[in-house]
Structure 1
Amino acid sequence: MAMGESAATTEKIRDALRAAHLYYMQDLTMEAIASELRTSRSSVSRLLSFAREIGLVEIQVKSPVDRLSTVQERIRTQFNVTAHVVPVPDSINEVDRLERVALSAARILGPFFDSNMTMGIAWGSTLSAVSRHLQEKVTHNSQIVQLNGAANTRTTGIGYASEIMGRFGRAFGAYVQQFAVPAFFDDPRTKEVLWRERSIRRVLEIQKHMDVALFGLGSLLADVPSHVYSSGYLDEDDLASLTQWGVVGDVATVFYRADGSSDDIPLNARSSGPSLELMRRVSRRVCVVSGRSKLPALRGALAAGVITDLIVDEATAHSLLEP
């Protein structure tokens, strides 16, 4: 095969894979895909047929080319994580971008969780979006555990957190373990005392034996506001403290700096979330991120070593690799 023909075939495979991802995993219509790819509806139809013919698509989107794509391979090499890059055009707004990434994440997540497994869930704007797109998968003797409390001075947080947890439980037929404690304690000593209670220790023990942890990244800079920063969990003094200590983001309300360190950040002593050390012991740690505004938080989380699988939009993935 001539070099020009080989390049044309590779480009066609990539276009077919992109069209298949948009059609089967993001539920876009052929008209919408044609607009996004700047081609005709009939061309999209041919690309989808081609994708099926060469085995890119069976029941799910299969992505051998994607696994070997330059961006994903570079992320694997540079950060030692498995990247799942979601094709999203730069032209859409950040709310729609999050929905597209969340929809793909919900479908990518299915094979990660099965019977006799425990999955930890960190509530937040991203996981709320993912929970709305989950597909049902029957599992047995499985459980979903809440990673951090959701109460603050304005609300118990039970409604918000339980809605997210409930969706995951129903989708997988799993038992839900809720964590009815504050997101942040007023006094670290109160947390220390409560953590000795048997009812709390039971949940903490479940967290220690998670098979999968699923989380988004909290960020003060996010274009789509992180729930912990926008819903009364932190007062002005807390926010000033985060700036003072160089915080760039949080995982399950545990804060970290750009270099991934989390030691001596005062709010972490009051947080109900699992330590980054505990998170690093979970065999599969799935992070869902949408939008370039979360790049500082993403870089910090990667430096902290808390991610094994990254589900991210295309533009953010490219930006992550920039010097």
Structure 2
Amino acid sequence: MSPAAQNGANRANVRNSDPTPPRSRDALRAAQMYYLQDLTMNAIARELRTSRSTVSRLLSMARETGLVQIQINNPLDRAPALEREIRNNFGVDAHVVPVTDLVSDSDVLDRVAIQAARTLGPLVDSNAIIGVAWGSTISAVSHHLTRKVTHDSTIVQLNGAGNTQTTGITYASEILRRFGAAYGARVEQFPVPAFFDHAETKTAMWAERSVKRILDLQERMTMAIFGVGSTGSGIPSHVYAGGYLDEEDLAILRRNQVVGDVATVFFRADGSHSDIVLNERSTGPDLGMLQQVRRRICVVSGESKINGLRGALAAGLATDLILDERSARTLVHNS
């Protein structure tokens, strides 16, 4: 074979061994031309020998898959000031999502979920064990996750999902599946009810080897991702709206002056939780154990969850907080 032919074969071998899908390579190339070289979409289309609409789709793909992350530095933005106040008052790193008073609760949730998903990506590393609590807010976040390749990472369910009406497996597993798919991580479900009927049943189940394996993963978490449940939120928390609690349970929570929950473990305004009777039947993580996790990311949408959020912050459950601007204002101005 001639030297020229050999060089051509070598180049072909390099191309064939490239594991990156052609569509991803085109998206990266288009993004570099558009964001780094200031080329117009028409110019990119000519260079890539494709249409302008295809270039637009490639740029959208680059944003959705995390190849491109957009950051806006606005000197007039109120969010940084709110973030500083939250950090100073509550000792957590805050990410405030700008919204106006005209935005509906459902739109606020969607905007918070989008920013939370984009904030999570850079924080997720390989060899991580990430605990995920199901719920309305985290479900919304799971729909907007951007892809990031990690290795030897695990997504573990933080609390059981079954109740008297359903196993809850479909709902919870879909949330976990989206997290696993986004980060290329193994998914470990927790196939137990959200609440046992009797505390003794929980004690017996916690001794089973299959359950102890999940509990061991939870104890070794490097990151936990959760929302705050509340009975009075504009968009009802799934644990309160999904048939998990009956009227007697709700009456018990009122008597115990419960303001909210994290992963179906309840607490009061001052963060206390150990003597709340319903927690003895809950399959959520021990909050003392959760406090030891290195990164604990709490996502909150809606001012009606503020009392629950205050309780969670009083309990020291979060290291990072992602919330909408209206809730942030209420949190700092009424503290």
Answer whether TM exceeds 0.5 for this pair.
yes
**Deviation, structure 1 residue 70:** 1.7
Q: Which residue of 308, 314, 329 maps to 1:318?
A: 329
Residue aligning to 1:263:
274
The one of 205, 221, 226 aligned to 1:215: 226
What pairs up with 1:182-221 in 2 under 5 angstroms? 182-221=193-232
- Does residue 1:154 correspond to 2:165, yes or no? yes
Give a deviation string over 1:116-142, Cα, whole Å, max 9, x none: 001100000001000000111111100
Match for residue 70 of structure 2? 60
Give the Cα separation in 2 of the matches to 1:70 and 1:153.
46
RMSD of aligned Cα (Å): 1.6
User: 1:83 aligned to 86, 94, 119, which one?
Assistant: 94
- Measure the CA separation in 1 of the matches of 2:117 and 2:69: 16
**Which residue of 1 is the match for residue 115 of structure 2?**
104
1:59 deviates by 3.9
- Say yes or no: does 1:285 pair with 2:285: no
Structure 2: which 5+ residue stretches go unaligned? 1-67
- Structure 1, unaligned runs of 5 or more: 1-57
- Residue 50 of structure 2 is matched in structure 1 by none
Alpha-carbon distance, 1:90 to partner: 1.2
Counterpart-to-counterpart distance in 1, 2:190 and 2:73: 37
**SS of residue matched to 2:195:** coil
The 2-side partners of 1:129 and 1:97 are apart by: 11
Any idea what SS the aligned residue of 1:321 has?
helix
Q: Distance in 2 between matches of 1:181 and 1:233?
A: 13
In structure 2, the partner of 1:303 is 314
Q: 1:120 aligns with which of 131, 136, 140?
A: 131
Secondary structure of the corresponding residue to residue 187 of structure 2: strand
Give, in angstroms, the shift of residue 275 of structure 1.
1.2
**1:4-153 → structure 2 map (5 Å cutoff):** 59-61=69-71, 63=73, 69-153=80-164
Indicate which of 224, 234, 238 corresponds to 1:227.
Answer: 238
Q: CA deviation at 1:263?
A: 1.7
The question of whether the paired residues in 1 share the 8 Å contact of 2:79 and 2:325 is answered with: no
What is the aligned-residue identity percentage? 58
Q: 1:209 and 1:67, CA in 2 relative to 1: closer, same or farther beyond 3 A?
A: farther
Q: CA deviation at 1:112?
A: 1.2
Secondary structure, counterpart of 2:197 in structure 1:
coil
Please state whether the residue corresponding to 1:141 is helix, strand or coil.
coil
Q: Which among 231, 250, 258 is matched to residue 239 of structure 1? A: 250
- After superposition, the C-alpha distances for 1:227-280 in whole angstroms (9 at most, x for unaligned) are 000011000000000000000000000000000000211100000000110110
User: Structure 1: which 4+ aligned runs deviate by more than 3 Å?
Assistant: 62-68
Contact between 2:79 and 2:98, CA under 8 Å: does it hold in 1? no
Answer with 1 or 2: which has the greater Rg: 2
Aligned length: 267
CA gap of 1:146–1:182, structure 2 versus 1, over 3 A, is same
